[in-house]
Structure 1
Amino acid sequence: MSSATPTTGPILILDDIRDGQLHLAALFIASKSDTPSHVETPFETIAPQLLAEYAAHDVYRVRFTLPADRQSSYRWNDTEYNVAGLTADLRIAYASCNGEEHGDMDRDGTERNAMWARMGDEHRRAPFSLLLHGGDQVYADEVTQGHPLSDGWPDHLPSDPARADLVDLRSHLREGFLERYLANYTAPEVAYVMARVPSLMQWDDHDICDGWGSLRRSRTYSPVGQVLFDMAREAALLFQHGTVEGDLPARFADPSGLHLGWSVAAPGLRLIGPDLRSERTRREVLGKRGWQWMEGLAAAPAPGRTLVMSSVPLLGPRLSLLELLMVLTPRMQKYEDDLRDQWQSRAHRDSWAHMLELMQRIAAPADQDVTVVSGEIHLATRGEMKLDHGKLLHQLVASGVAHRAPPKAWARVLGALATVGETPLPGHPIHIRRIPGQKLRYVAERNYLILTHAKAGWSAQWDFEVSGISAPLPL
């Protein structure tokens, strides 16, 4: 059944890779007057399943499979969507920071989504097999506005809100998250890519609120803070992973969803997306469950390349110096949470070294390599850390796809800080390197990352808004 009100979708999400099949979920957001059409594959026709209901919209999902080792297609609403598959010549796109903290809903779509349009053009030229979203898929910071319980978030909160008011807040926030995901997925530049390239997503703080997990416990564990997290998590499960509570696909480590870490594997390639937010505190980046899961992955055989998504960069300069300066300067203390978000924070020194040691363990077998991809900082850069046996850990940072770049002066400040050097893992110094063709270590342009696997091995390129596509960086 169709109507005059268009359905948003399909939004193609990778549930898992197993038995030579891509297990996919196509998500649709429809008005109350519309029911999405069936999805057709070469093997079956599947009716949409209702997942969630909102005031004026319903969310549907269709789960189906396509062959993993070759190009195939599915059909919806008289349109055929080609899916590249995981062929020998593999291309993966990586994007992060899809929005801005203030006024994102009011931006001109052509300006906001210019890099998505570029990604679409690149997909038409040479299709992407996967799209990795490295955090801040939406900027939900303003969802707290417009309700008396959360208008003052995070600085001014009611100490003992009434239960009825908290129920009303849940509804307010729930609709607010829907509005932001709907706006993103309706944008034609985004919709073109996401209907054709299976997505894997890892959330970060702005998918909840600015600094979630680095804010003080009096905020995050308050009644308002807990409702905010619950609604952000429900929205992330639904709109980033195409699922709901109790229905998580097999790639997730914890079926209960207490942490949202996931991994998928294909011949020669493993992708790991740890959850760096659900268990985060001001002292820990991962909780007990998250660390146990990562330990298990580090010990498991994975011949080929492991790509680890770390929403905040794992290799970086000595930000603890900048953090100390901010603590000592009253006017700059409001930025303390931003630096505590980083692995390089003084508060996370032990966690940082632990994660780097896990990367070393993954790369220890002769037939295994590891690369880290990150976003979050609204700049592009890359880092290196020597591993044992002559191997190299590459850190590739691509950020942001829609967030406008900060001033070039900030890129120079970070570049100067990077000259100080950092060695959280004794004997393995970190170096921040220039991206091929760039004069500075940090590049202040909007961008996304292209990872390519061919006979010569893996390589990385950045597509910059002004500079264009960089020369390939062998990995």
Structure 2
Amino acid sequence: MVDSIAPQANSSGAHGVGAGPQVLSTTNELEVIVGPLLNYRRMSTENGQGTWYGSVLVVTTPGQTAPELNLSHVGPTDPNEETVPSAPGSRSFHGEKLYEDTNKAFWRFTIDLPFQQYEARWEYKIKGLTYVDEAKSQKPQIFVVPSITQSMRILFHSCNGFSVGTDIDAWSGPALWNDVLRMHAQKPFHVMIGGGDQIYNDGVRVDGPLRPWTDIGNPHKRREFPFDEKMRAECDEYYFNNYVRWYGQAPFSHANGQIPQVNIWDDHDIIDGFGSYTDHFMRCAVFRGIGGVAHKYYLLFQHHQAPPKSTFTTDAPNTVNVGAEGTTPADPAQLKNTFVMTNDETDSSYIIGSKPGPYVEECSRNIYTQLGARIAFVGIDARTERTRHQINYPETYKQIFSRLDKEFSANKDLKHLVLLLGVPIAYPRLQWLENIFSSPIIAPIKFLNKRFGFGGSIFNKFDGNVDLLDDLDDHYTAHQHKHERRDLIHMLQGFSKKHSVRVTILGGDVHLAAIGRFYSKPKLGIPAEQDFRYMPNIISSAITNKPPPTAVANLLAKRNKIHHLDHDTDETLLEIFDRDPGHGDKTNEATNGATNGTTNGNGKVGKKTADSNHATMPSRNYAIIAESNPTPTKTSSALAPAPATASAPATDGEALVHTSAPPDAKANARKPIHVGENSAGTSHPAASGLTATGLCGQYGLDVTLRVEISPSDKEGHTDGYGFSIPALEVGTAYTDHGSRW
């Protein structure tokens, strides 16, 4: 309970406007609305010792005193592992208030802990925590940290929500999080990477405060519609309530407190298609306004960072002009009865863009962090700076690659870079479809839609264009992004070659599973293990949203050509789907009639794809990435490399990478092109996601796509498809067929 009894000081110690709500709690309990949410930040290693850094967030009723979190070392995950006598004890951390108004407060606990010589379990509990929802109760939260010698076991997901109009019950809600928790219980995840669309806020235009604006038929009037303080406050309430509903919903809420998160956003975290509509429409007041509101809650819920003091509104002159660092100065109306932490120190894991985005008027928030001993991660914020013709500023790429050069030059133990782009970059071309949607033949249909509502479901409510066009414009393979796409791949190739590091790309957004790859043209005769151009693109989405129709997935598979990025680089999807999930081999399937994982009259799972489609899977899914030769935890040196294995024999104390035969120039590159891709699919050793394969040499990675069998299964059981990725060794130039690199 809270009473209006006393003023609170703002972050500078002053009272009055901006000092926060004039309430104090009348209970000794910490009344929590949603949380805890656990984030991973970064790690450091010095003199064989290491420290793990992260944060915990809870959202409470206002007026609370600073809460306290207790963190305890529980012991090794392996009961046979012996703990050292100096195992750490318990520690307490005090909460920092990031934001507070008359309805809620955000509290962050910035935590750190020492890495152990073994994979360790840690427990945290927040003192006095009770839930506003009396049906919930606090349970000790346990998370797992790898040993100082291990790389992290990674969960990758995207599209964690439902599009407007989806029958949520028909898709059993967020059922795949049950499967995530089952896998986590068998073999813990050390981090989960959110690839964008962690939440779907599109309902703000259907059953939220933007509905009157959306219903305006005249595009000019819609562009000129004001976004005043009243609408801002209504949108603020909508976005907050939607986050509370989604982040507090089981089983997703259970994962939030047990698996540390690292997140990058995409359009649905704001609103569908944000950034990819025409420039003059994107600059309208409503888009500027909701961009600011969405960014506020993105920072709070997904990054545990204090938001800007105020965001754009048409009736506040202070917010209309954008400064070098965003919306400044603050608007007194928005700060009334509101507290915002000032000078929240930016964590060193962030690479902050040099100037605000064009529509989200804040600087981009890219991430660099190390995922254990040998894996580094970069997440590119591909939404804040996005326009229809640009994904990121050139200055941002320069910042990111400068940071990568610095980190990899300083740490020669790093063998892999996992790069998150959100949207796939190795993906079938759909320019022919873009041309149709943008061509003059659409104009008469668009006119009939505008005057009589003809074809209403085809056209979006924002700018009147074909509804799919913004999705196509989002793709790196869209014609307007092809030069930026090519330049990015070339920068990655140069980085990979310079540091002898394998680059693996993550992408979501497209609501199906696939594996794309860039690689040197077969005529160059370069084995994958020595090919700096070999970069797999793990495409995993959606973990919650419904997949596209079977016909769309089959069409994409038919468009799976071998494309030529340049004179030396080809790209195509790997044919990894040897069968539909829950079925036998595609050539022997006997089910009929059902689609998208529904059941037929015999109770069997229906077919999801055509028998000829081995490249795209329209079924909900998530991905697991882990080292295929995990380092034993007992070692004399905290940073010692893994011992040699049968696939990586020792010679003079150094491990050798198993090398595949040079690719056959006449072979079909849609099929496996190296030893780690052999038998890719359900029969691959990595398919289970639980057992290290030992493939691809000492520093290889195993990848698993866990694919939903049936959406009617509320427990979300999955089938696994696997392949492995070799580390890169380019220390000695490879020569073949007269080619040298």
TM norm structure 2: 0.60
1:212-236 per-position Cα deviation (integer Å, ceiling 9, x unaligned): 1111122221121111111111111
CA deviation after TM superposition for structure 1 residue 451, in Å: 0.6
1:192-221 per-position Cα deviation (integer Å, ceiling 9, x unaligned): 111111100010011111111111122221
- Cα separation, 2, equivalents of 1:66 and 1:204: 31
Q: CA 1:203/1:157 → structure 2, altered by over 3 Å: closer, same or farther?
A: farther
- Cα separation, 1, equivalents of 2:171 and 2:222: 40
Out of 351-360 and 253-262, give the one that drifted further: 253-262
Q: CA 1:307/1:334 → structure 2, altered by over 3 Å: closer, same or farther?
A: same
Contact 1:298–1:361 (8 Å) recurs in 2? no
Q: How does 1:29-40 map to 2 (within 5 A)?
A: 29-32=59-62, 37-40=67-70
- Cα separation, 1, equivalents of 2:297 and 2:576: 35
Q: How does 1:39-58 map to 2 (within 5 A)?
A: 39-42=69-72, 43-54=90-101, 56-58=103-105
Out of 34-43 and 441-450, give the one that drifted further: 34-43
Aligned to 1:393: 535
| 1:404 pairs with one of 538, 546, 565 | 546
Aligned to 2:473: 340
Q: Establish whether residue 460 from structure 1 lines up as the match of residue 703 from structure 2.
A: yes
Q: CA 1:11/1:125 → structure 2, altered by over 3 Å: closer, same or farther?
A: same
Q: Establish whether residue 115 from structure 1 lines up as the match of residue 176 from structure 2.
A: yes
Percent identity over the alignment? 21
Contact 2:263–2:303 (8 Å) recurs in 1? yes
Q: Establish whether residue 81 from structure 1 lines up as the match of residue 192 from structure 2.
A: no
Q: CA 1:441/1:153 → structure 2, altered by over 3 Å: closer, same or farther?
A: farther
Out of 405-414 and 318-327, give the one that drifted further: 318-327
Out of 329-338 and 188-197, give the one that drifted further: 329-338
Aligned to 1:250: 348
- Cα separation, 2, equivalents of 1:116 and 1:267: 27
- Cα separation, 2, equivalents of 1:101 and 1:279: 24
Aligned to 2:510: 377
Aligned letter for 2:233? Answer: S
For structure 2, the residue ranges without an aligned partner over 5 or more in a row are 1-26, 73-89, 127-137, 308-342, 355-361, 409-413, 446-457, 459-465, 521-525, 580-612, 630-693, 695-699, 711-717, 726-741
CA deviation after TM superposition for structure 1 residue 17, in Å: 2.0
Aligned to 1:28: 58
Q: Establish whether residue 13 from structure 1 lines up as the match of residue 75 from structure 2.
A: no
Q: Establish whether residue 143 from structure 1 lines up as the match of residue 204 from structure 2.
A: yes
Q: CA 1:129/1:444 → structure 2, altered by over 3 Å: closer, same or farther?
A: same
- Cα separation, 2, equivalents of 1:158 and 1:474: 50
CA deviation after TM superposition for structure 1 residue 382, in Å: 0.4
Contact 1:381–1:441 (8 Å) recurs in 2? yes
- Please state whether the residue corresponding to 2:614 is helix, strand or coil: coil
- Please state whether the residue corresponding to 1:259 is helix, strand or coil: strand
- Please state whether the residue corresponding to 1:260 is helix, strand or coil: strand
- Please state whether the residue corresponding to 1:12 is helix, strand or coil: strand
Contact 1:344–1:352 (8 Å) recurs in 2? yes
Aligned to 2:556: 414
CA deviation after TM superposition for structure 1 residue 74, in Å: 3.1
- Please state whether the residue corresponding to 1:254 is helix, strand or coil: strand
Q: How does 1:18-417 map to 2 (within 5 A)?
A: 18-19=44-45, 20-32=50-62, 37-42=67-72, 43-54=90-101, 56-69=103-116, 70-77=119-126, 79-87=139-147, 88=150, 90-103=152-165, 107-108=168-169, 111-144=172-205, 145-147=208-210, 150-152=213-215, 155=219, 157-158=221-222, 160=224, 166-245=228-307, 246-247=343-344, 248-254=346-352, 258-265=363-370, 266-297=372-403, 299-300=405-406, 302=408, 303-328=414-439, 329-330=441-442, 333-365=466-498, 367-387=500-520, 389-391=530-532, 392-417=534-559
Q: CA 1:4/1:364 → structure 2, altered by over 3 Å: closer, same or farther?
A: closer
| 2:564 pairs with one of 409, 423, 429 | 423
Contact 1:93–1:449 (8 Å) recurs in 2? yes
Contact 2:159–2:198 (8 Å) recurs in 1? yes
- Cα separation, 2, equivalents of 1:312 and 1:149: 31
Contact 1:437–1:470 (8 Å) recurs in 2? no
Q: CA 1:272/1:89 → structure 2, altered by over 3 Å: closer, same or farther?
A: closer
| 2:576 pairs with one of 435, 439, 448 | 435
- Cα separation, 2, equivalents of 1:161 and 1:405: 34
CA deviation after TM superposition for structure 1 residue 398, in Å: 0.6
- Please state whether the residue corresponding to 2:180 is helix, strand or coil: helix
Aligned to 1:445: 619
Contact 1:129–1:197 (8 Å) recurs in 2? yes
Q: CA 1:139/1:426 → structure 2, altered by over 3 Å: closer, same or farther?
A: farther
Out of 459-468 and 430-439, give the one that drifted further: 430-439
Aligned letter for 1:346? Answer: H
CA deviation after TM superposition for structure 1 residue 282, in Å: 1.2
- Cα separation, 2, equivalents of 1:436 and 1:232: 37
Contact 2:57–2:304 (8 Å) recurs in 1? yes
For structure 1, the residue ranges without an aligned partner over 5 or more in a row are none
CA deviation after TM superposition for structure 1 residue 49, in Å: 2.2
1:50-108 per-position Cα deviation (integer Å, ceiling 9, x unaligned): 2223553322211111234542413214643322213326311001001122157x834
- Cα separation, 2, equivalents of 1:101 and 1:449: 21
Aligned letter for 1:136? Answer: D
Contact 1:149–1:224 (8 Å) recurs in 2? no
Q: CA 1:233/1:68 → structure 2, altered by over 3 Å: closer, same or farther?
A: farther
Q: CA 1:150/1:33 → structure 2, altered by over 3 Å: closer, same or farther?
A: farther
CA deviation after TM superposition for structure 1 residue 47, in Å: 2.6
How many aligned residue pairs are there?
471
- Cα separation, 2, equivalents of 1:447 and 1:148: 32
Structure of higher CA gyration radius: 2
CA deviation after TM superposition for structure 1 residue 405, in Å: 1.4
- Cα separation, 2, equivalents of 1:370 and 1:298: 12
Q: CA 1:211/1:68 → structure 2, altered by over 3 Å: closer, same or farther?
A: farther
Q: CA 1:262/1:319 → structure 2, altered by over 3 Å: closer, same or farther?
A: same
Contact 1:298–1:359 (8 Å) recurs in 2? no
Aligned letter for 1:29? Answer: V
- Please state whether the residue corresponding to 1:90 is helix, strand or coil: coil
- Please state whether the residue corresponding to 2:625 is helix, strand or coil: strand
Q: CA 1:11/1:251 → structure 2, altered by over 3 Å: closer, same or farther?
A: same
- Please state whether the residue corresponding to 1:373 is helix, strand or coil: strand
Aligned letter for 1:74? Answer: E
